[in-house]
Structure 1
């Protein structure tokens, strides 16, 4: 299989919902049309082309002449002029073209038989129209085939199967299951086409190899989404690889977790990574250092509890501010302050981070998006590693490039791939004795 086909296959695997939804919507639309469209009843009959005139004395009894005429009669069956005469006979309030559109005629191959169908909104009208139509049809053919001086026409139509009991016509001339199947196939094709076109114009990151190529840094992940409290195998692998990347002392590894822009899933990735590090080392603490949005603290339901800002300003002790979560010890952002940038770059925060590093093997600091603030850059310069969270299918290539340009390369800088979570964030509980290691 050539590379182009492999790429199309990859796109369809990633965007399989597009063809699936295309099929569902197309079938649903077909069902709605079938329910809303007025019913059509059809009465059918069969006519035979007879050659009683001079041509009947030919060697083949006029069979060749009749078969040659069959195609012409089929086309003439849908003539508006013929339909106009039927309308005049029945007094119908229809345009000739409309009635002509309700007529079907088909010549069975190799025969001189023509099957004629007449449609109408009601069964009674369908049968009545078919009866009058066949009469006008035969009379018109007879008139056309009669030559001057001849008593009988060269060909005429004989009804061998009169108009039967009308039946409700299938959708668009095909059985309803076939129509629904066709609609589903059309929906799949349109959905697949939409998926391919979307991928052509999609500038979001889809492959971890693309991230490694764009930023030239170690890549960890991606981490599979999992229910609260469950540490997945790929999170364990990411934690182990991070341990190899961060070459700080055994009991002093500080990791900054950030994202290019809000929405990449940095908070969820930090929780998953901290839980894996906690399992790996037995001592990891998660710190919400995003003092502007306080996203992680609010998601964990600790917006009213003392946090890092309270510790920095002396309103709370570290032991009092530390809480427990499913990922391990957690230090929230605390109350809002007017100058978060100054707090992030303050000597007091560096001292607090060093104190946490002395207590725990891993200190995971969640910072504001790197393209919105300088927090991650400032704190990352003092950390052992900076993890940039890239959400596959969400983060754009341009965001990755810009973020990698501003993040420090030393100490170690890695990319931690993740997807937007669909499970609740872990909960936090207070403990009387705090959450110290």
Structure 2
């Protein structure tokens, strides 16, 4: 995983990362507010040596004292000191062990005795009691069997008594919230990375590019939800969606410089990726340029072209394939003065695979390619049925409509591509549907418009319809 992958993960999962971060901060705040406050009081002791008359003696005495301090710090939390304090204050030794600590500030001969307690007054009493007991114990240990503290080479002095604290040292609300934010952010980011690691749904061009290096010939956002709103109507406009289909047409025209693209199969990996809408709009856009187009609805399981274009399907592809009617009598014009005619699916048959794999279907496509400039075939999805793989061998190439909003999974796209590869079908490229195309701004946002609509965007030579 590189930096680009990390940035994509953050952009995709920022909401969940933010929510987990806020949850971490809220949890830290809640725990802090529910926790009992603890007070801390500190007593300070000074370690001194006896009989230092010269500078050399002072230096040696200071070094000697610093060497003794570490031992005195250990004695402060030992059984003799805590046992005496326990008897004096009536507090169990076990409890005192968790409340008392001692430390020596670096490069000093000071000892700080610190005591904590939910009661501020008790914390001060414990700290002072421990300090006093430690002074007495050190004097006793250093004197040995001799009487009088004056003979001890080192002495402890209680230089600062612990005072009753007015504010608790724990819990620290601001610190805990900050830790909660940091912990929540780390947890949220880790969760996002794990979800992306095991999530095979494809969202956007980058995810799809990780599966296949096939060219992306078109990219469309999800503007309409269903029905007629999905079909291009005002071709005189230069909206982003209309221009996106014109761009797809242009890409296909560049692939057809030698006149080899006569028929296009439009399919998808799974249902509901928008293949029928793409096929219909591509046919409309090609016809806009004066190209004679035949659109065939070969999805005999879930035909949709008739409802998208407002046509009848009582007569259609199945009627022609069964020999009950000719192609010329079965096609319907898609609007007045249009270069587009449509062969709807006809009645849904009980044996769609057999019909589409028949010799009659091959003859129909051959005749259609001789009679029209371009034939566009809307086929079933590749995953689950064999129809589109067989049809792909009868056309010039395949456009694979690929949903980029997360409904399609990596393994499904991989399977669809494998099916095309097994029959040696030519894949023209992908059409990304429901993609986040608004993130890449185009010329039209800045007012760069075509002065006049193109008069002819079709093939250089129009063929007469011979249906």
Give the TM-score taking structure 1 as reference length.
Answer: 0.66
Q: 2:106 aligned with 1:109, yes or no? A: yes
Q: 2:229 aligned with 1:221, yes or no? A: no
- The SS at the match of 2:219 is coil
**Alpha-carbon spacing, 1:108–1:273, altered in 2? closer, same or farther (3 Å):** farther
Q: 2:267 aligned with 1:268, yes or no? A: no
RMSD value, Cα:
5.1
Task: State the distance in 2 between where 1:406 and 1:308 align.
Answer: 35
Partner of 1:239: 249
Q: Which of the residues 333, 350, 368 maps onto 1:338? A: 350
- Displacement, 1:384? 2.6
Larger radius of gyration: 2
- Displacement, 1:246? 5.0
**Alpha-carbon spacing, 1:133–1:290, altered in 2? closer, same or farther (3 Å):** farther
Q: Which of the residues 289, 299, 302 maps onto 1:290? A: 299
8 Å contact from structure 1 (residues 80, 100) kept in 2: no
8 Å contact from structure 1 (residues 257, 386) kept in 2: yes
**Alpha-carbon spacing, 1:89–1:351, altered in 2? closer, same or farther (3 Å):** farther
**Alpha-carbon spacing, 1:405–1:130, altered in 2? closer, same or farther (3 Å):** same
- Structure 2 unaligned blocks of 5 or more: 225-229, 231-239, 438-467
- The SS at the match of 1:404 is helix
Task: State the distance in 1 between where 2:187 and 2:49 align.
Answer: 55
8 Å contact from structure 1 (residues 286, 329) kept in 2: yes
Once structures 1 and 2 are overlaid, which stretch shifts more, 414-423 or 364-373?
Answer: 414-423
- The SS at the match of 2:128 is helix
Q: Which of the residues 32, 45, 49 maps onto 2:45? A: 49
**Alpha-carbon spacing, 1:370–1:269, altered in 2? closer, same or farther (3 Å):** closer
Q: 2:135 aligned with 1:127, yes or no? A: no
Q: 2:387 aligned with 1:375, yes or no? A: yes
Give the TM-score taking structure 2 as reference length.
Answer: 0.62
Partner of 2:183: 183
8 Å contact from structure 1 (residues 18, 191) kept in 2: no
Task: State the distance in 1 between where 2:315 and 2:83 align.
Answer: 89
Task: State the distance in 1 between where 2:317 and 2:346 align.
Answer: 8
8 Å contact from structure 1 (residues 74, 106) kept in 2: yes
**Alpha-carbon spacing, 1:54–1:117, altered in 2? closer, same or farther (3 Å):** closer
Task: State the distance in 1 between where 2:241 and 2:163 align.
Answer: 76
8 Å contact from structure 1 (residues 238, 273) kept in 2: no
- The SS at the match of 1:44 is strand
- Displacement, 1:262? 2.0
Q: Which of the residues 296, 310, 313 maps onto 1:307? A: 313
- Structure 1 unaligned blocks of 5 or more: 1-6, 213-217, 424-437
- Displacement, 1:208? 3.6
Task: State the distance in 2 between where 1:357 and 1:180 align.
Answer: 67
- Displacement, 1:256? 1.0
